[in-house]
Chains A and B, each alone.
Chain A
Amino acid sequence: MSLTPQEITHIARLARLKTNPEEAESYATQLSRIMDLIDQLNSIDTENIEPMSHPQDAALRLRDDEVTKLNLREEFQAIAPECENGLYLVPKVID
């Protein structure tokens, strides 16, 4: 399977990565090779094999519903770039 530079630009945009046209071109070639490996995996017949969502066959550990975390706002905000009135400040976003 081969990816187009346009697809690379779209994926990069979703991941908030900046790419220029030359990079998109070369990533397209590189990532297409990785996709070829996946195509190879896809060619295997998995008809009777139960899909796995994780490499280990572990079950999720469940914890009791208890409040165990202390309020560490001061410590956390001491290392944040900017805060005010207890809020973390970020560049303005409007949906």
Chain B
Amino acid sequence: MQWEIVIGLEVHVQLQTKSKIFSGASTSYGASPNTQACDVSIALPGVLPVMNREAAFLAVKFGLGIDAEINQRSIFARKNYFYPDLPKGYQISQFELPVVGKGKLEIKTSKGCKTIGITRAHLEEDAGKSLHEDFHGMTGIDLNRAGTPLLEIVSEPDMRSAEEAVAYLKQLHMLVRYLGISDGNMQEGSFRCDANVSVRPAGQKELGTRAELKNINSFRFVERAIGIEVERQIEVIEDGGDVVQETRLYDSDLDETRSMRSKEEAHDYRYFPDPDLPTMVLDDSFIESVRASLPELPHLRQTRFVSEFSLNDSDAEKLVHDRDAADYFEAVCNSSAADTKIVANWMNGELNSALNTAGLSIKDSPVNSDRFAELLDRITDNTISGKIAKEVFSLLWDSNKSVDEIIEEKGLKQITDSSAIESIVDQVLAENYDQVAQYKDGNQKVFGFFVGQVMKLSQGKANPKQVNELLRNKLD
């Protein structure tokens, strides 16, 4: 039987605020346990939550970024369950009226473009961390993370393959970083994903019973976990069984999913509006101030790069993917006379490979956009050849000197004086009598040999174009 896969994703994005969503405790990562767990974080009796304006601002920013309805009146609710890393006995979240309503995100896969619906995005607080290592048979609780603002982004069940799910996640990841609402750091848990996966016979309208997959916190794991879960469900059904609605954990070591909670224990959260928090009302001026802070969005920037800098789609896409890289590219293009295509090639080539080797992001590149522009300018004005420029680039990488200083010091300036090049050409022709004879006999291939010899003798500094011209003049 042909099976259709149906996937919906829930992504928790940690919002980039200095303080927690309902208190003035710090949200910075990696602090000593409980040093950022204030009276509100640990839920001392009598404390009250006070909403962080910035968290609301960032949530709305996301909403505008996906073209969503913004609910100017939204409600915080209590989601009740007991777990030691949730000291209040409930999580403050949004239920009936989330701050962000229906929106959409465009994704691209090998099968083309597709629009994925976003059902909603709501604000909530994160829980603390439980450490089950040995504390004499007890569990250790660190509440530093409790109260960190999260935006939970829920998609429609619009994805039909693991590839689409990964494309959606990558697009969302790029968007939140572009918008500056989250650092998107997956290792630190700033971008976490749960997947709702089900299968149904192709052509059937009703959705199959879904399983919720947890603990899939890398793009690669998302793809693996979905693939494995789909196989499992198909096998269950084809063996005459039924898929059970449950939460399953993906174990990357064993490469399998396994049941976390059975149906009997399924959570019954008994949501109700939090009496401590009145309706969140965001007026028009608030929404407009968020709108004014929106950066140019990636897909629009890509279109502009194509028209303004005459790039092809694939180069523009590569550059736009990372906001810092796109900024770098624009800075170079604006201060350099070099052709934009050369800027793109050099960024995607030399710069990228050097950054990858060093494990650095473009923001921390030892060659900043100014020096990079200077280097490309020296190629453009024929001071150095592209080949020599690669040498200069690696010297730039390891020093603080300017491009001109390096060219001067190392004597790398291109030889453009034709009489100087001519004397080298003459020398090469005189020393390689046999090859000259071959060329005269019609062996065109030897021409490359002459060019190579001249470049070698000039230590790569002769202008290749002039070398070619002079050789042709002398030989033809």
Contact = CB atoms under 8 A, between A and B. Distances in A.
Contact of A67 (B26, B140, B268): B26
Interface in B242-268: 260-261, 268
Given A86-B32, A88-B34, A94-B132, A61 B51 contact: yes
> For chain A, what secondary structure do more than half of its interface residues adopt (helix, strand, loop), or is it mixed?
loop
Given A14-B80, A14-B268, A67-B24, A91 B138 contact: yes
Contacts, number: 127
- Interface size class, chain A: 35 or more
Interface of A: 10, 14, 16, 53-54, 56, 58-69, 71-73, 76-77, 82, 84-95
A54 B278 contact: yes
Contact of B281 (A14, A60, A87, A88): A60
B135 A89 contact: yes
A62 B139 CA distance: 35
Most buried by A among B131, B277, B278: B278
A56 B26 CA distance: 31
A75 B52 CA distance: 25
Interface string B113-135: 00000000000000000111001
A81 B439 CA distance: 93
A87 B141 contact: yes
A10 B24 CA distance: 37
Contacts of A68: 19, 24
A59 B278 contact: yes
Nearest to B83: A93
Contact of A65 (B17, B37, B39): B17
Given A54-B279, A90-B138, A95-B260, 6 more contacts: A54-B275, A65-B17, A65-B18, A68-B24, A84-B140, A89-B141
B84 interface: yes
Contact of B140 (A14, A63, A89): A89
B395 to A, nearest CB: 44
B124 to A, nearest CB: 15
A85 B140 contact: yes
19 contacts: A10-B268, A53-B96, A53-B273, A53-B279, A59-B280, A60-B277, A60-B280, A63-B51, A67-B26, A69-B38, A86-B32, A87-B140, A88-B42, A88-B141, A89-B139, A90-B84, A90-B141, A92-B138, A93-B139
A55 to B, nearest CB: 8
A29 to B, nearest CB: 22
A71 B36 contact: yes
Contacts of A71: 35-36
B30 to A, nearest CB: 13
A48 to B, nearest CB: 18
B25 interface: yes
A60 B48 CA distance: 12
B273 to A, nearest CB: 4
Nearest to B272: A53
Contact of A69 (B24, B137, B143, B260): B24
B52 A72 contact: no
A73 B26 contact: no
Closest CB pairs A-B (n = 10): A68-B24, A87-B140, A65-B54, A62-B53, A86-B33, A69-B38, A53-B273, A59-B281, A58-B278, A69-B25
A16 B270 CA distance: 14
A4 to B, nearest CB: 16
Contacts of B39: 69, 72, 76
Contacts of A62: 51-53, 56, 280
A63 B48 CA distance: 13
B29 interface: no
A57 B37 CA distance: 32
Nearest to B32: A86
B34 A53 contact: no
Given A85-B140, A93-B83, A94-B132, A66 B24 contact: yes
Contacts of B3: none
Interface in B272-317: 273, 275, 277-281
B284 to A, nearest CB: 14
B34 A73 contact: yes
A63 B270 contact: no
Contacts of B141: 87-90
B18 A60 contact: no
B229 to A, nearest CB: 19
A68 B37 CA distance: 12
Contacts of B277: 60
Interface string B203-234: 00000000000000000000000000000000
